């Protein structure tokens, strides 16, 4: 979750048995290395980095691999040769897709798991299909590559529903914690917006895709 991750937050998620993520897609190279090292100091468990493909990522990816990051997650475009480079560096690759076709291409590129991001997701939204319709379509398209559901999964019931549709797990933003660093601290006291029904504003953003955030 760009802008809201931190070494403390990522390490806390990994230490709790999840996969903590650092969003480093637009961080200066020295910050990429520093954030990874700070996270490594707080957890011995695997964690991942997210690189948004709107920006060139060769240099950031190289630093992540030098630092031995276990998982690299790509979003907002096709990763192509970056997936190959990540594998050569020993990392597992996740790729977020907003359609079954995009998921198919990412799987052919060699992604180890696909994040099927539905229309309900917060932040930047790449597709226009609802999560519970997208997940089985992506599962059918990329099997046996595992699929993680994202978008509107606010509790265990949502996770169970996604898994009933073939997902291997879920990726979401609801485990907000004391370690979470947000530009809006009041987000800490709010439940996931999907747990209360509608509560979003949607606008176009770069590349004419959609950005979504919780309504105040």
Ligand X SMILES: Cc1cc2nc3c(=O)[nH]c(=O)nc-3n(C[C@H](O)[C@H](O)[C@H](O)COP(=O)(O)O)c2cc1C
Q: Which is nearer to ligand X, 7 or 25 (CB)?
A: 25
Is 211 a binding residue for ligand X by CB under 6 A? The answer is: no
The residue sitting closest to ligand X, measured at its beta carbon, is: 123
Q: Which is nearer to ligand X, 52 or 65 (CB)?
A: 52
Residues from 149 through 208 that contact ligand X (CB under 6 A): 150-153, 171-173, 194
Binding map of ligand X across residues 51-90, x = CB under 6 A, - = no contact: -x--------------------x-x---------------
What are residue 214's DSSP bridge partners? 200
Task: For residues 128 and 124, give the distance between their C-alpha atoms in angstroms, rounded to a whole number.
Answer: 12
Residues from 4 through 33 that contact ligand X (CB under 6 A): 4, 23, 25
Q: Which is nearer to ligand X, 107 or 151 (CB)?
A: 151
Distances (CA, A) of 146 to 110, 113, 177: 12, 5, 27
Report the b/e string of 146-178 with b at 16+ CB within 10 A.
bbbbbbbbbeeebbebbeebbbebbbbbeebee
Check: CB of residue 15 under 8 Å from CB of residue 65: no
Task: For residues 190 and 201, give the distance between their C-alpha atoms in angstroms, rounded to a whole number.
Answer: 16
Tokens, residue 35: 């954030």
Is 1 a binding residue for ligand X by CB under 6 A? The answer is: yes
Binding map of ligand X across residues 111-150, x = CB under 6 A, - = no contact: ------x--xxxx--------------------------x
Check: CB of residue 48 under 8 Å from CB of residue 72: yes
* Site residues for ligand X per CB under 6 A: 1-2, 4, 23, 25, 50, 52, 73, 75, 96, 117, 120-123, 150-153, 171-173, 194
């Amino acid at each position: 979750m760009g802008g809201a991750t931190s070494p403390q937050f990522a390490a806390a998620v990994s230490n709790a048995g999840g996969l903590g993520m650092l969003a480093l897609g637009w961080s200066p190279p020295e910050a990429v290395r520093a954030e990874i090292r700070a996270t490594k100091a707080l957890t011995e468990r695997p964690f991942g980095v997210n690189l948004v493909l709107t920006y060139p990522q060769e240099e950031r990816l190289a630093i992540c691999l030098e630092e031995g990051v276990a998982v690299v997650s790509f979003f907002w475009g096709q990763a192509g040769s970056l997936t190959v480079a990540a594998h050569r560096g020993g990392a597992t690759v996740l790729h977020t897709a907003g359609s079954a076709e995009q998921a198919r291409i990412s799987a052919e590129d060699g992604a180890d798991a696909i994040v099927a991001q539905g229309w309900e997701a917060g932040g930047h939204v790449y597709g226009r299909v609802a999560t519970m319709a997208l997940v089985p379509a992506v599962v059918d398209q990329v099997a046996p590559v595992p699929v993680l559901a994202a978008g509107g999964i606010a509790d265990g019931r949502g996770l169970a529903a996604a898994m009933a549709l073939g997902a291997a797990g879920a990726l979401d933003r609801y485990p907000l914690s004391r370690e979470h660093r947000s530009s809006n601290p009041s987000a800490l006291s709010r439940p996931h917006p999907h747990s209360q029904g509608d509560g979003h504003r949607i606008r176009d953003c770069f590349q004419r895709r959609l950005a979504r955030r919780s309504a105040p």
